[in-house]
Amino acid sequence: MRPILFEVFGVPVYSYGFALALAFAVSTAAAALASRRHGIDPVHVIDLGMITCVSSIVGARLVFVLLNLSWYLEHPGSIFVLTDGGLSFHGGLAAGIVSGILYCRFRGIDRWLMADLAAPYIALGYSIVRIGCFLRGCCYGVATDVPWALPASELDDIPRHPTQLYSSALSLLLFIYLYSRRNHSGFKGMLMFQYVFLYSLVRFAVEFVREGERLALGLTLAQWVSLGVAVVALALTGLLSYRFHKTGGNVVDAEAS
């Protein structure tokens, strides 16, 4: 683990913060380069990238604090300390989607096209962020004796499942899959629904070997949330696909404005 990557004039650059900034920069730049294929001005993508950078961090932190409210009530000064991680991806994704919808509405951009454009690069950014988690030593797995176990926790040197790397690798595979589907012939916005569904499945699977409190049926809170999100995303995908084919491809046009 390497929580501090390097120093600039004596100021530490934290691995998690660096990975987070790199993820937004790479994802936004890549999406901007691909935007003209979707008929979207790259300037709008860059603007939206900056807006979602702020909104998703706020949303991710807010949900994480609410999920750990008892601890933060005892340590209120830690609420605004992000160098140690502590972000909920579902919270960040929700805030990013809401801010994206509002921005597209304000600019008169088809939000479904923007969603299709953004989906692969959200997966790419998430893959980069999880590398920062590994270097920081947060979001670690349970102790294990598998050959690839690593001391992946900031709290001890016990060999554990490197769940941060599992998430990073699986999210990279999601990026490759979604990118290969960028010219799909389904309803507009389908890639975003697919991403939300597939990410939820990945998160559900990784949670089995990630350290965390077990609730009903031995599942973590993140697993229950992931199940709920996956069910909703799958249902909406099925419904919109049905309406898309039934109406000859006009289902989303009436909903895009």
Q: Is 8 helix (H, G, I), strand (E, B) or coil?
A: strand
For the beta carbon of residue 203, count every other beta carbon within 10 angstroms: 23
Where is 12: in which H helix or E strand?
strand 11-14
pLDDT attached to residue 251: 53
* Mean pLDDT along residues 149-158: 88
pLDDT at 83: 60
How is 130-157 classified by DSSP, letter by letter?
HHHHHHHT-S-B-B---TT-B---SS--
Domains of the chain by residue range:
4-246
pLDDT of residue 121: 95
**What pLDDT score does 256 carry?**
44
Is residue 38 within 8 Å of residue 45, measured between CB atoms? no
The most confident of the ranges 17-21, 164-168, 250-254 is: 164-168
pLDDT tens readout for residues 64-102: 888 777 777 887 777 777 665 677 877 888 888 899 899
Q: What is the pLDDT of residue 253?
A: 47
Percent of the chain with pLDDT over 70: 95
Which of the two residues, 256 and 251, has the higher pLDDT score?
A: 251
Residue 14 binned pLDDT confidence (cut-offs 50, 70, 90): confident
Query: pLDDT value at position 84?
Result: 59
Q: Look at 112 and 6; give whichever has higher pLDDT.
A: 112
Nearest CA to 80 out of 99, 64, 96 is that of: 64
Note whether 113 and 40 are within 8 A (CB): yes
pLDDT of residue 249: 65
- Flag whether pLDDT at 206 surpasses 90: yes
The CA angle 222-225-231, to the nearest 5 degrees, is 135
Name the residue among 196, 59, 3, 186 with its Cα closest to residue 118. Answer: 196
Output the CA angle 111-223-188, nearest 5 degrees. 20
What does the pLDDT read at residue 255? 46
C-alpha 5/C-alpha 238 separation (Å) is 45
- Average pLDDT of every residue of the chain: 88
Separation of alpha carbons 23 and 129, rounded Å: 6
CB 205 within 8 A of CB 169: no
Q: So what's the pLDDT on residue 250? A: 58
The C-alpha atoms of residue 195 and residue 2 are separated, in whole angstroms, by 30
Mean pLDDT within 136-159 = 91
pLDDT band for 205, please (50, 70, 90 cuts).
Answer: very high
- Listed residue (116, 63, 228) closest to 72, CA to CA: 63
What's the Cα-to-Cα distance from 73 to each of 64, 65, 92, 178, rounded to whole Å? 13, 9, 22, 40
What would the mean pLDDT of 148-176 be, rounded to a whole number?
93
Report which of 56, 207, 197, 31 is spatially closest to residue 124, judged by C-alpha positions: 31
